[in-house]
């Protein structure tokens, strides 16, 4: 392999290793990257090889057929190509890293075998909040934006994966507005962040200018909550995880699109809803996400309240006791997938998913697995030579 290409590969690998070894600059660090100890769902209804492939659905834009509906999108299924990672699939199909890991607990997210079917959780229960402006559900790690609809036109919604505040730097809940916007912003590093980095031996300047080293990316929406922003990132692989110092980050291409749509004064609601009931075509669904460890929630008590609400409203085909047991099972698995609540049916996610074409473009500079092993084997020897 040419020395120049090997250098590129080495730098890419070093970047990935650094993500796990240190606190990243700005609003970022990574937690739980390799946590794959989740319960599994059935894969008995996998599609046969050779089945026709559909084109992927819209990543972000959805139309609500009825004001009573609270579910958008459809599940999709894609087969892994050689060299794909979950981070590649997540960005290509409008998902965050945690979303795709939660939906596929038995698949290695970094070295999945070619041909492995991966469920894309591209169906979403809308948060229980007013459908106006921006709604952030930090439990689902997703942003929903409801543009104003013209008279007689159906409501539309755009949704994007987000990175949120890590433990100790939680993204706040509540209501706010967008108070300012900026392209190519300077980052005025908070004193608390500078102290943290200084203690870790990684001092930061008081101001980071626009450019590739700026963790805010190229677009920023300032919130009325002092110190909190919705922004892009120079580390897109952290989108969909708990990575920030409390700010909300999006993929660069997503914040660029959203930035053009948002006006000063746009309302913003930040909620924490890991358990979501939704309806579509008079059918009831339940979607569950892992409860954030720093947001106390009595799941059994919450499920009991949801069961009573649904049963009292006559919305469930299941008897209250069976409904409660079903909701608890879904909450415990926390796949982040809307599950239809009905009699005599299991979790037929793979059977109901649309098999789509894998549109991930191979990165010509990405190292192969054998090259990664070569580089990792060579690193200790090079470090020893440098030390001498």
> CA 165 to CA 142: how far, in whole Å?
13
Looking at residue 174, its pLDDT comes to: 96
Looking at residue 368, its pLDDT comes to: 58
Mean pLDDT by groups of 10 residues along the chain of 388 residues: 36 42 44 47 56 92 93 97 93 97 93 94 97 97 95 94 87 96 90 83 86 93 94 92 88 97 98 95 93 86 92 85 94 95 71 94 66 55 38
> CA 276 to CA 296: how far, in whole Å?
17
End-to-end CA distance of the chain: give it in Å, rounded.
27
Are the C-beta atoms of residues 20 and 29 closer than 8 Å to each other?
no
Looking at residue 386, its pLDDT comes to: 35
Looking at residue 147, its pLDDT comes to: 96
Catalytic residue among 9, 41, 247, 275: 247
> Sign of the CA dihedral 108, 112, 116, 118?
positive
Domains annotated on the chain, with CATH: 3-272 (2.40.440.10), 275-346 (no CATH)
Catalytic residue among 9, 219, 231, 289: 231
Residue 50: exposed, middle, or buried by beta-carbon count in 10 A (0-12, 13-18, 19+)? Answer: exposed
Q: What is the pTM of this model?
A: 0.83
Q: Catalytic: 275? A: no
Sequence-distant (6+) residues with CB within 8 A of 235 are: 19, 24, 28, 215, 243
Written as six digits, the tokens of 355 are 């098999």
Q: Catalytic: 231? A: yes
b/e 241-256 (16+ beta carbons within 10 angstroms → b): bbbbbbbbbbbbebbe
Number of Cβ atoms within 10 Å of the Cβ of 171 = 23
Looking at residue 297, its pLDDT comes to: 84
Looking at residue 143, its pLDDT comes to: 98
Looking at residue 370, its pLDDT comes to: 62
Sequence-distant (6+) residues with CB within 8 A of 194 are: 203, 204, 206
Looking at residue 275, its pLDDT comes to: 96
């Amino acid at each position: 392999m040419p020395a120049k290409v090997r250098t590129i590969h080495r730098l890419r690998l070093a970047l990935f290793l650094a993500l796990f070894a240190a606190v990243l600059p700005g609003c970022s660090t990574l937690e739980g990257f390799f946590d794959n100890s989740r319960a599994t769902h059935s894969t008995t209804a996998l599609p046969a090889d050779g089945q026709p492939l559909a084109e992927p659905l819209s990543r972000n834009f959805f139309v609500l057929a009825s004001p009573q509906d609270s579910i958008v999108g459809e599940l999709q299924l894609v087969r892994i190509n050689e060299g794909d990672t979950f981070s590649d699939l997540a960005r290509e199909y409008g998902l965050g890293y945690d979303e795709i890991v939660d939906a596929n607990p038995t698949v290695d997210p970094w070295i999945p075998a070619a041909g492995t079917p991966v469920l894309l959780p591209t169906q979403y229960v809308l948060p229980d909040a007013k459908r106006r402006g921006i709604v952030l559900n930090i439990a689902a790690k997703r942003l929903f934006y409801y543009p104003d609809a013209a008279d007689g036109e159906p409501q539309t919604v755009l949704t994007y994966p987000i990175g949120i505040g890590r433990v100790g730097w939680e993204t706040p809940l509540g209501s706010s507005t967008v108070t300012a916007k900026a392209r190519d912003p300077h980052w005025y590093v908070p004193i608390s962040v500078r102290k943290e980095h200084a203690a870790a031996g990684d001092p930061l300047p008081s101001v980071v200018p626009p450019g590739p080293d700026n963790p805010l990316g190229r677009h920023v929406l300032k919130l009325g909550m002092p110190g909190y922003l919705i922004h892009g990132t120079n580390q897109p692989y952290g989108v969909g995880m708990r990575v920030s110092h409390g700010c909300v980050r999006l993929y660069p291409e997503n914040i660029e699109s959203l930035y053009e749509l948002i006006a000063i004064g746009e309302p913003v609601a930040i909620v924490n809803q890991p358990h979501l009931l939704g309806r579509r075509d008079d059918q009831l669904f339940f979607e569950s996400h892992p409860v954030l460890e720093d947001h106390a929630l009595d799941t059994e008590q919450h499920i009991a309240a949801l069961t009573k609400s649904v049963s009292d409203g006559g919305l469930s085909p299941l008897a209250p006791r069976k409904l409660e047991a079903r909701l608890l099972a879904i909450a415990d698995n926390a796949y982040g997938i809307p599950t239809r609540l009905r009699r005599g049916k299991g979790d037929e996610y793979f059977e109901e998913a649309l098999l789509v074409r894998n549109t991930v473009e191979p990165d010509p500079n990405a190292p192969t697995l054998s090259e990664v092993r070569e580089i990792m084997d060579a690193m200790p020897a090079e470090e020893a030579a440098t030390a001498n």
